[in-house]
């Protein structure tokens, strides 16, 4: 029975993931077209993280053809959680159960959720394989050399950035206070505060995930 249930979760997860993935990566005419040169300037500017409270209308992610493309973030009144994922960081696997539980507490009608793999060594194939093995019920997009992580001020995998319904960055850091035995959920606290319109008690927390490297110096 357990095996059948696990298989069902995998199949549903796979179908859901593919549908969402396809939807997210459908190239459409966006509200603000930019030339490659303009995008490059924006990419470089993303070495500086957005301030807390600053609106982030779009993030740079790879499309189905592996090309870096701007993706508009939803700003429809629902908070957005961006989970920084990695095939190579074991903390991501350790947190998977907590993330699935979070999605059950905050379904798509209440909160947008997607994951971003910032490590360029995570291939589409590796991501798909790990998602299938864990039965992850969410889509994973590929970052562009860590540009989205840097722009959102996230310095490690197994961390989140939480945006409010107007697309403003409200929290970034670990999902809770301990990888092994968490006693406090920062992400629950952040989402509850945003949904209730109350002040945030925690706007950041140190991550226990795998640290991203500092940006290299600009080439001459």
Going by the DSSP 8-state scheme, the letter that residue 168 receives in this structure is B
| Phi, psi angle pair for 5, to nearest 5° | -65, -40
Query: Which C-beta is closer to another protein: that of 7 or that of 45?
Result: 45
Judge contact between 164 and 200, C-beta under 8 A: no
Query: Which C-beta is closer to another protein: that of 36 or that of 199?
Result: 36
In angstroms, what is the minimal distance from the CB of 43 to another protein?
Answer: 5
Part of the chain binding another protein (CB under 8 A), chosen from 2-10, 64-72, 169-177, 189-197:
64-72
The C-alpha atoms of residue 157 and residue 87 are separated, in whole angstroms, by 10
Residue in this structure with the two tokens 């050399």, named with its chain if needed: 145
Instruction: Please identify which residue in 67, 105, 110, 129 interacts with another protein, judged by CB under 8 A.
Output: 67
The C-alpha atoms of residue 86 and residue 93 are separated, in whole angstroms, by 9
Q: Within 135-194, which residues bind another protein (CB under 8 A)? A: 139, 141, 144-147, 150, 155-157, 180
Q: Tell me how crowded residue 219 is: count the other CB atoms within 10 A of its CB.
A: 4
Instruction: Please identify which residue in 50, 56, 91, 175 interacts with another protein, judged by CB under 8 A.
Output: 91
Residues contacting another protein: total by CB under 8 A? 75
Q: Within 6-45, which residues bind another protein (CB under 8 A)? A: 19-20, 23-36, 39-40, 43-44
Query: Which C-beta is closer to another protein: that of 3 or that of 121?
Result: 121
Cα first-last separation, the chain: 61
């Amino acid at each position: 029975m357990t095996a059948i249930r696990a298989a069902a979760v995998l199949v549903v997860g796979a179908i859901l993931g593919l549908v969402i993935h396809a939807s997210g990566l459908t190239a459409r005419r966006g509200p603000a077209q930019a030339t490659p040169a303009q995008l490059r300037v924006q990419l470089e500017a993303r070495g500086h993280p957005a301030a807390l409270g600053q609106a982030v209308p779009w993030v740079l992610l790879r499309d189905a053809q592996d090309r870096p493309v701007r993706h508009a973030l939803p700003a429809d009144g629902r908070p957005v959680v961006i989970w920084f994922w990695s095939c190579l960081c074991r903390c991501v696997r350790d947190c998977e159960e907590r993330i699935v539980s979070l999605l059950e507490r905050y379904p798509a009608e209440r909160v947008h959720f997607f994951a971003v793999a910032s490590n360029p060594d995570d291939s589409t194939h590796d991501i798909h394989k790990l998602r299938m093995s864990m039965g992850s019920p969410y889509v994973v997009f590929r970052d562009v050399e860590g540009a989205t992580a840097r722009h959102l001020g996230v310095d490690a995998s197994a961390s989140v950035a939480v945006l409010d319904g107007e697309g403003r960055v409200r929290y970034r850091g670990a999902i809770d206070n301990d990888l092994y035995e968490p006693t406090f959920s920062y992400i629950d606290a952040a989402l509850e505060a945003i949904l209730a319109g109350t002040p945030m008690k925690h706007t950041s927390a140190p991550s226990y995930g795998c640290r991203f490297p500092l940006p290299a110096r600009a080439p001459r």
